[in-house]
Amino acid sequence: MMKKSERGFSERICKPLSVPNMNLYRFLIHRNPINASKTVCICHEEVLLFNQLKSESERYARALAAIGVQKGDIVPICSEPSIAAIVFFFALNRIGAISCFLNSTASDEEIEGYLQKFQSKTFVISSNCCRKLQDQDELLKSIDHAICIPSIAGNFDDQMDRSDPHIVSLSDFLKVECSETVDLDLGSKKDAAHISFTSGTTGTPKSILLSNENLMAELTALKKPP
């Protein structure tokens, strides 16, 4: 006979998690009443607050829509951990585009392979990674918009090679004229949201397409009491 504690554990494992029909951004913002000044994360001594995430992700999302990024487009982000990369992740989620974080230490051949595989026309890349790709003219020509974000906190423009015509700084990107009619946060839980990768320990890393529902269920499971 199964003990009570064992039965309870089994029921928790088998019971499916229920998440609301929304995108990941709305789930994060509306999950609990959130203090606007509460910290989302700290990266290289730079702090991102919830009110900043809300305002900056909307600003980035409108700029992305203005340059033609649409629902279902895959936009790789090749960067060291940074506040700007986090904001881009949520900005993409808010317009229904799909984010994909690439290894910032990967070779230029590996990065090129992913860009070709995903048929990406917009690429977010850190200033350090930009330096690795300075001689990759053919790769950069295949991208409509390569947006350079800072590798560390500081002046965006001072960290990039402004002589490269294929790459625009984050500050210049955010100057694009944005429409006030951009629809935000209309995605459902079934919509694709992010591409992750297997480790590749026993072979070539495999791409894994995750939906908003997948990500919300993971967050819910992590927060559930034991």
Summarize pLDDT for 141-176 with one digit per residue, the tens: 778 888 999 876 544 444 455 556 678 889 999 999
Please list, in sequence order, all residues whose beta carbon lies within 8 angstroms of the beta carbon of residue 84, skipping any fewer than 6 positions away. 149, 150, 170
pLDDT for residue 177: 87
145 assigned to some structural domain = yes
Which residues is 194 bridged to in the sheet? 99, 210
CA distance 155 to 117: 33
12 assigned to some structural domain = no
The number of folded domains in the chain is: 1
Q: Residue 149: which of 134, 167, 137 has the closest Cα?
A: 167
CA distance 142 to 136: 10
Residue 200 belongs to domain with CATH number: 3.40.50.12780
> Quick one: residue 138, left, alpha or beta (phi over 0 = left, psi -120 to 50 = alpha)?
alpha
CA distance 66 to 55: 17
CB 126 within 8 A of CB 151: yes
Does 15 score more than 90 pLDDT?
no
Show the tokens assigned to 41. 């994360």
202 assigned to some structural domain = yes
Q: What is the mean pLDDT of the chain?
A: 82
CB atoms within 10 A of CB 182: 15
66 assigned to some structural domain = yes
The boundaries of the domain holding residue 61 are 19-221
205 assigned to some structural domain = yes
pLDDT for residue 8: 54
- At 51 the three-state DSSP class reads helix
6 assigned to some structural domain = no
- Mean pLDDT check: name the lowest of 28-32, 56-60, 177-181, 211-215: 28-32
Which residues is 106 bridged to in the sheet? none
Q: Residue 93: which of 123, 122, 67, 72 has the closest Cα?
A: 72
Summarize pLDDT for 40-79 with one digit per residue, the tens: 889 888 899 988 999 999 999 999 999 999 999 999 999 9
Summarize pLDDT for 206-219 with one digit per residue, the tens: 889 999 999 999 88
pLDDT for residue 165: 67
CA distance 30 to 62: 21
Q: Residue 100: which of 205, 187, 3, 185 has the closest Cα?
A: 205
Does 86 score more than 90 pLDDT?
yes
pTM of structure: 0.85
2 assigned to some structural domain = no
7 assigned to some structural domain = no
